[in-house]
Amino acid sequence: MYKSNEIFSIFTKTYFLYMKKKITTNSKVIMISAFFFIILLNNYFTIEENITRKNFKRSVDQINTFVLNFPELTDSKINSRKKRKIITNPMSKWPLPIYYHYKSPINSMAIKSVITIIERETCIKFRKRKSSFFFYLVFVINIQENVQVL
């Protein structure tokens, strides 16, 4: 079983290997993985809980499936950068900065850590939501009974 700090450590080591050019990958995939890391971290366990290797494997598969289902993240023809555009469809754009909100007992430090990485590596900026905005991200813990493990 993995503890939350162990999984965060695995993600952090992978990220630093990528930054030191010891491993290469599509940076957009790293950023999407960072978002899904937060979701994984908060959907499957809290700080006190553990995660089984089987659940962790399933979550990694979900990240990979997400990338496969959105070819604009990895397709070089779609992603030929022009004026720093990743996705050229105007309907895909969020107004910047992207406001976010999280509900307790979510791990706020994990969210802030990944947001810092994304802001440092991209032109995307985030702000914590202070009042009612139309567009914003909400990070929640999905607590379900009878969760089936694949």
Q: What is the pLDDT along the chain (150 residues), one digit of tens a residue?
A: 445 555 556 566 666 666 666 555 555 555 556 655 555 555 444 434 444 555 555 555 665 565 555 555 555 554 455 555 555 566 666 667 877 777 766 677 777 888 888 888 888 888 887 765 555 566 555 544 444 433
pTM: 0.35
Name residue, tokens 């947001």: 115
Euclidean distance between CA atoms 21 and 139, whole angstroms: 31
- Residue of 38, 44, 47 lying closest to 58 (CA atoms): 44
DSSP code string of 98-132: EEEEE-TTS-HHHHHHHHHHHHHHSS--EEE--S-
Euclidean distance between CA atoms 54 and 139, whole angstroms: 23
